[in-house]
Amino acid sequence: MSDNRQFLQNLYDAFNRREIETIIAKMHPNVKWANGLEGGFVYGRDAVREYWTNQFKAIQPELETLKFERDESGRSVVTVHQIVKDLEGKVLVDTEVRQIFTIEDGLISLYEIGETDTIQEMIQKNKAGNEQ
């Protein structure tokens, strides 16, 4: 797990620096990537690139790794502290999320998110809670 831990930590660091190409280079060309913003998945490196490019035009997520584990299927499970801000820096979401990676031949082939609402759903719930 230590190899995957450092591999993934490097990718989280790159994500927080918005180094999209660094991360995409570590994905299988036909990667299946969870769409944490709206739900569902995007398929392939180009789709992930487009997904992140559009996401970063609307919100600024930051991820802090808290815990690295391996599940019974051998997947890497990372618990992260996720803070999502709007473009002005206002915190929209502050939560913990489990992110699950299948790594084959040194590349991410599948990225899944543990049971949680999408970012859009979390933002809506926070707005509703703040309006009461």
User: Could you read off the pLDDT of 53-78 as tens digits, one per residue?
Assistant: 999 999 999 999 999 999 999 999 99
Which residue do the tokens 């992110």 mark? 99
Mean pLDDT within 3-25: 95
**CATH class given for the domain over 2-131:** alpha beta
Cβ–Cβ contacts within 10 Å for residue 48, how many?
22
pLDDT of residue 1: 45
pLDDT of residue 129: 66
How distant, in Å, are the alpha carbons of 28, 36, 44, 65 from that of 111? Answer: 11, 10, 12, 16
pTM for this one? 0.87
Domain ranges of the chain: 2-131
- DSSP-derived secondary structure letter, 47: H
Residue 128 has pLDDT above 70, yes or no: no
Residue 43 has pLDDT above 50, yes or no: yes
Q: Which of 2-6, 50-54, 109-113, 120-124 has the lowest mean pLDDT?
A: 120-124
Cβ atoms of residues 59 and 6 within 8 Å: no
The contacts of residue 122 (CB under 8 Å, 6+ apart) are 84, 92, 93, 95, 116
Q: Which of 35-44, 60-69, 110-119 has the lowest mean pLDDT?
A: 110-119
Cβ–Cβ contacts within 10 Å for residue 81, how many?
13
Cβ atoms of residues 23 and 31 within 8 Å: no
Angle value at C-alpha 118, between 108 and 42, nearest 5 degrees: 40
